[in-house]
């Protein structure tokens, strides 16, 4: 029996080892820095990205993969048992629409089902891994897509930004708001609601932000799985993971380093937690 292939985009922050072990194809987001274009996770690693971000005065921009990019990936799996392509929320990126248009151009190949996760980063990874595990067990396109959509509905996500500076540089908020936030030393805590990023609060210290994250994780209720994506220092991450044992005693399924696709907007110091409810 031919296996269903799972495709996603690099905003899921899934590392190469995990992707290869589960047969996940990751289509990279483009990162444009001046006149140079990179592919997130292909020729621009997370460490390279954050090193450049700290040194350069100009700010990079991102662009979703084209429909042709997706069509080439789908065509390469034409002999598979079908494709389930799971992507960042359509309300914050054009990636889902590119994937859908790419699927429409593939004729005579494998059936392609495109899923809008309504999430990104660790939340998207949670959904993709759920679909990939179902595919690995021999699930059909319908079964993989149903499990992915079930994971979408059951996944909650919260995150802490260390600064609003990079949101302002990328035009996502006004420089005046970022300046005021810097003067007041407040940091945003964010969550997802109906496929959009919304503010879950403002905190005045890094420690307060971590405490607020833990509180929000506890409010998710009983969880079957947790995934963390981050762009913070390893020692701080380790402390946070130890503290998280107080609200989630289970093992964290995966910890991913956040790539450029989302790092462009958040910069270093981000911690994002996705929990799938029982």
Cα–Cα distance measured from residue 166 to residue 230, given in angstroms and rounded to the nearest whole number: 15
| Burial (CB count within 10 angstroms: exposed 0-12, middle 13-18, buried 19+), residue 201 | middle
With a pLDDT cut of 70, the percent of the chain lying above it is 93
Angle at 275 (CA atoms; ends 269, 278), nearest 5 degrees = 170
Q: What would the two tokens of residue 37 be?
A: 């274009």
Angle at 196 (CA atoms; ends 192, 198), nearest 5 degrees = 60
55-61 mean pLDDT: 90
Backbone angles phi, psi at 197, to 5 degrees: -80, 125
Reduced to 3 states, what is the DSSP secondary structure of residue 245? Answer: coil
pTM: 0.93
pLDDT at position 183: 47
pLDDT one-digit tens code per residue, 232-263: 999 999 999 999 999 999 999 999 999 999 99
In DSSP notation, 8-41 reads EEGGG---HHHHHHHTEEEEPPEEEETTEEEEBT
Check whether 167 has a pLDDT greater than 80.
no
Confidence of residue 108 (pLDDT cuts 50, 70, 90): confident
Specify which residues 112 forms β-bridges with: 83
Where do we find the tokens 């949101």?
Answer: 167
> What is the arrangement of strands in the sheet containing 196-203, beginning at the earlier edge strand?
196-203, 187-193, 155-160, 271-277, 223-230, 254-257
Cα–Cα distance measured from residue 129 to residue 147, given in angstroms and rounded to the nearest whole number: 10
Confidence of residue 190 (pLDDT cuts 50, 70, 90): confident
Output the average pLDDT for the chain.
91
Cα–Cα distance measured from residue 240 to residue 223, given in angstroms and rounded to the nearest whole number: 18
Where do we find the tokens 């059951």?
Answer: 154
Contact call for residues 252 and 241 (beta carbons, < 8 A): yes
Q: Domains (ranges, CATH) in the chain?
A: 5-153 (3.40.50.10170), 155-277 (3.30.1180.10)
171-183 mean pLDDT: 52
pLDDT one-digit tens code per residue, 76-86: 999 899 999 99
Contact call for residues 82 and 113 (beta carbons, < 8 A): yes
Contact call for residues 62 and 44 (beta carbons, < 8 A): no
The upper half-sphere exposure of residue 159, i.e. CA atoms within 13 Å in the direction of its Cβ, equals 33
Check whether 164 has a pLDDT greater than 80.
no
Which one, of 58, 5, 1, 51, lies nearest residue 27 by Cα?
Answer: 5
Alpha-carbon dihedral angle through residues 180, 181, 184, 188, given to the nearest 10 degrees: 160
């Amino acid at each position: 029996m031919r296996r269903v292939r799972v495709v996603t985009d690099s905003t899921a922050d899934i590392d190469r080892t995990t992707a290869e072990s589960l047969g996940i194809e990751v289509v990279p987001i483009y990162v444009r820095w001046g006149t140079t274009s990179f592919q997130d996770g292909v020729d621009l690693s997370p460490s390279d990205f954050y090193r450049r971000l700290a040194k350069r005065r100009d700010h990079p921009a991102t662009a979703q993969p084209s429909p042709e990019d997706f069509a080439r990936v789908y065509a390469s799996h034409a002999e598979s048992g079908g494709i389930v392509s799971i992507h960042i929320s359509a309300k914050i990126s054009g990636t889902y629409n590119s994937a859908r248009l790419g699927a429409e151009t593939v004729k005579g190949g494998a059936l392609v089902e495109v899923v809008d996760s309504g999430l990104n980063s660790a939340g998207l990874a949670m959904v993709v891994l759920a679909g990939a595990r179902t595919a690995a067990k021999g699930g059909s396109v319908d079964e993989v897509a149903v499990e992915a959509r079930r994971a979408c509905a059951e996944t909650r996500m919260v995150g802490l930004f260390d600064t609003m500076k990079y949101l302002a540089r990328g035009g996502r908020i006004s420089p005046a708001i970022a300046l005021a936030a810097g003067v007041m030393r407040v940091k945003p805590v964010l969550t997802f609601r109906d496929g959009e990023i919304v503010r879950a609060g403002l905190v005045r210290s890094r420690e307060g932000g971590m405490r607020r994250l833990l509180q929000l994780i506890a409010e998710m209720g009983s969880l079957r799985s947790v995934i963390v994506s981050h762009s913070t220092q390893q020692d701080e991450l380790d402390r946070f993971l130890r503290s998280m044992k107080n609200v989630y005693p289970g093992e964290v399924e995966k910890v991913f380093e956040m790539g450029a696709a989302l790092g462009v907007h958040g910069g270093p110091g981000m911690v994002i937690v996705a929990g799938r409810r029982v």
